[in-house]
């Protein structure tokens, strides 16, 4: 699941990004409304976290604009404005939830989980991804092979989810860096190789059909259906 954090205070932005990645989400960040709109136009986010006091516009205007573009992903407003009027206005004008600063990370995560659950249609296919005997439960963030639980870190789960969503297609290191790590890391690093190596150690254990294939010099492909 991919989130967009719109926050101009870099300290909070960095904290949110790290914490949400730690919780198993893929995260993009924007420091103003313009950048947020550019990102939201090209990426289908599962949810957005939006600060109201942005340098170039009011967060409410951004939300209204995104709604006007047909973007219906749930929005959590995160704001220092705590009055009842502000909160009502936020909720009436496109926000799905409103959390005031300072906020508790655990509460933000719980609210996000609720919104994501509500937003996902109640059909199993959309909350589960399967390739052969590999199954990902996107709500519980749990992966199994032939029903046996794979003990993945949140980051490994995000990586596997990306591979499964692209099963049968070649994904390059640069694509993985962009989609899973949000390009935060210089492409020369071996972070992708290291994570694939660890992931493979958990997914393709002995006696199981290997699913993750390396195409030398190109990237990786997860066996298709
Ligand atoms: Ca702000």
pLDDT at residue 179 is higher than 90: no
Q: How far is the CA of 48 from the centre of ligand 1 (A)?
A: 15
Q: How far is the CA of 187 from the centre of ligand 1 (A)?
A: 31
- Of the listed ranges 22-36, 43-57, 90-104, 174-188, the least confidently predicted one is 174-188
Q: How far is the CA of 162 from the centre of ligand 1 (A)?
A: 32
More confident site: 111 or 218: 111
Q: How far is the CA of 23 from the centre of ligand 1 (A)?
A: 23
Q: What is the pLDDT of residue 190?
A: 83
Q: DSSP assignment of the chain, as one string?
A: -EEEEE-S-HHHHHHHHHHHHHTT-EEEEESSHHHHHHHHHHS--SEEEEESB-SSSBHHHHHHHHHHTT----EEEEES--SHHHHHHHHHTT-SEEEESS--HHHHHHHHHHHHHHHS-S-HHHHEEEETTEEEETTTTEEEETTEEE---HHHHHHHHHHHHTTTSEEEHHHHHHHHHTT-S-TTS-HHHHHHHHHHHHHS-TTSPP-EEEETTTEEEE---
pLDDT, the chain, mean: 89
pLDDT at residue 183 is higher than 90: no
Q: What is the pLDDT of residue 1?
A: 87
Show the domains of the chain with their CATH numbers: 2-119 (3.40.50.2300), 127-222 (1.10.10.10)
Q: How far is the CA of 135 from the centre of ligand 1 (A)?
A: 40
186: Cβ–Cβ under 8 A, 6 or more apart, which residues? none
Residue entry with tokens 């705590």: 82
Q: Summarize pLDDT for 115-157 with one digit per residue, the tens.
A: 888 765 545 556 788 999 999 998 888 999 999 999 999 889 9
Q: What is the pLDDT of residue 78?
A: 95
Q: What is the pLDDT of residue 141?
A: 87
Q: How far is the CA of 54 from the centre of ligand 1 (A)?
A: 5
Q: How far is the CA of 222 from the centre of ligand 1 (A)?
A: 41
How far apart, in whole angstroms, are the C-alpha atoms of residue 126 and residue 128? 6
Q: How far is the CA of 90 from the centre of ligand 1 (A)?
A: 15
Q: How far is the CA of 110 from the centre of ligand 1 (A)?
A: 22
Q: How far is the CA of 96 from the centre of ligand 1 (A)?
A: 19
Q: What is the pLDDT of residue 8?
A: 97
Q: What is the pLDDT of residue 70?
A: 81
Residue 196: count of CB within 10 angstroms of its CB: 22
Q: What is the pLDDT of residue 122?
A: 47
Q: How far is the CA of 8 from the centre of ligand 1 (A)?
A: 5
Q: Summarize pLDDT for 191-217 with one digit per residue, the tens.
A: 888 999 999 999 999 899 999 999 988
How far apart, in whole angstroms, are the C-alpha atoms of residue 84 and residue 76? 16
């Amino acid at each position: 699941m991919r989130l967009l954090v719109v926050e101009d205070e870099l300290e909070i932005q960095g904290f949110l990004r790290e914490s949400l990645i730690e919780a198993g989400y893929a995260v993009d960040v924007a420091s103003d409304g313009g950048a947020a709109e550019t990102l939201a136009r090209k990426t289908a986010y599962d949810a957005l976290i939006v600060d109201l006091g942005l340098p170039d516009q009011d967060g409410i205007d951004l939300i209204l604009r995104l709604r006007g573009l047909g973007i219906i992903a749930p929005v959590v407003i995160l704001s220092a404005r705590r009055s009842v009027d502000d909160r009502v206005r936020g909720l009436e004008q496109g926000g799905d939830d409103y959390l005031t600063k300072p906020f508790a990370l655990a509460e933000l995560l719980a609210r996000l989980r609720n919104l994501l659950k509500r937003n996902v249609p109640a059909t199993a296919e959309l909350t589960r991804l399967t390739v052969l005997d590999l199954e990902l439960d996107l709500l519980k963030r749990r992966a199994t092979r032939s029903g046996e639980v794979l003990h993945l870190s949140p980051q490994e789960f995000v990586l596997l989810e990306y591979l499964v969503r692209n099963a049968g297609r070649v994904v390059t290191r640069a694509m993985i860096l962009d989609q899973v790590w949000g390009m935060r890391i210089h492409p020369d690093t071996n972070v992708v190789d290291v994570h694939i190596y660890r992931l493979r150690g958990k997914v393709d254990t002995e006696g199981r059909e290997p699913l993750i294939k390396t195409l030398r010099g190109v990237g990786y492909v997860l066996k298709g259906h």
